[in-house]
Structure 1
Amino acid sequence: MDKTGCKKVEGKNKYQKIEGKLYNYYRYKNEIGKLKATMKNMEKHIKDIEDRIKNAHNYISLDVGIPSVGIGERIQTSSNCISYFERQLEQEVTKLQREKIDKIKRIYKIDRRIRDMESLICEMDYYLSLLDQEDKKIIELKYRYKRSLSYIAMEMSFSNSTVIRKKDRVISKLCI
């Protein structure tokens, strides 16, 4: 293949990357709000878990047998000097601590994802700010609202070929 064929393929890949960034830009703007709400919800869950850890002794029941079976007091013994209540308390606290750690890990993953999204949004905000209103409208209709080129042509009173030409020109301006 000659050099011009390689340039076409390279240019096409770059064109598709820019289109992908534009689709992601609008999708990320919507998604960030949802992710931030999820993070706040998880932070609330973590506080609830911490409260449950502090008050774990209130959640353990001591029902170890049928109360009507014996007349005397039931004595708990074990070989390692830990009572049934202490074992249950330890298991409950351990389970809550694992749950808390899992939630913290998820918060960090979501936070990292939000930072990555905000990075792309910031970059694209800059490049889109350089466009005029007509070009912005074409980009918004195509990539935010996912309208067809014929719909955009009708909406903006252009021919299909004019919309295609303008969209291609805008994408080439955005080659980052």
Structure 2
Amino acid sequence: MNNDDPYREDLQVIDRELRNHYEYKKQLEMVNERIAEIDAQLTSIGSPRIVSPEEAKYQKGTKIYNNLNMLDLFQEQDELMKQKQDLIYLISRVQVKLNKLDEEDMKLLEQRYKYKKTLRDLAQNMYNGKSTMSRRLDDILLKLI
């Protein structure tokens, strides 16, 4: 496409949204994991008191937390919950657009944005030229505008 194309700016915006979309999904996974860790720490506080690491060996599933500050954990959990809501919102905004696509288009976008494949890699896998692949991706992105 040339620079006179009226959709070029829109394509750049959707390209950026898709790049961010998969990063937000990774961040959401990390946030969920950390929330689960905090939950485990907070629920284990009421477990039996362990005097030594040697004693812990005999109590299955018991972890020793030294200097556990509940207030810090609750504050971190609150911040993570807010971050989680923001990420879910950002992901859902793009997901609504992605729902317009068929399975073949979705697979191609996943390869490009989630797995960060180059145009050359995509073209080789689909037995196309690089310029053909570029046009095909632009056509898919235009469906999302």
Matched, 1:148 2:144: no
Aligned twin of 1:21: 17
Aligned twin of 1:130: 100
Structure 1 residues 25, 148: closer, same or farther in 2, change over 3 A? Answer: same
Across the aligned residues of Structure 1 and Structure 2, the Cα RMSD in angstroms comes to 2.9
Q: Kindly provide the amino acid, as one letter, of the partner of residue 121 in structure 2.
A: Y
Map 1:87-166; keep pairs closer than 5 Å. 99-166=69-136
Q: CA deviation at 1:145?
A: 0.6
Larger radius of gyration between Structure 1 and Structure 2: 1
Q: Is the 8 A contact 1:18 1:171 kept in 2?
A: yes
Matched, 1:173 2:112: no
Q: CA deviation at 1:132?
A: 2.4
TM-score by length of 1: 0.59
TM-score by length of 2: 0.70
Deviates further, 150-159 or 123-132: 123-132
Q: d(CA) in 1 for partners of 2:84 and 2:106?
A: 25
Superposed CA deviations along residues 123-149 of structure 1, whole A, max 9, x for unmatched, are 222221211233222211110110110
Q: Is the 8 A contact 1:18 1:174 kept in 2?
A: yes
Q: Specify every segment of 5 or more residues in structure 2 that has no aligned partner in the other structure, as ranges.
A: 52-66
SS state at 2:128 partner: coil
Aligned twin of 2:42: 46
Matched pairs, number: 126
Q: Kindly provide the amino acid, as one letter, of the partner of residue 38 in structure 1.
A: R
Q: Is the 8 A contact 2:100 2:144 kept in 1?
A: no
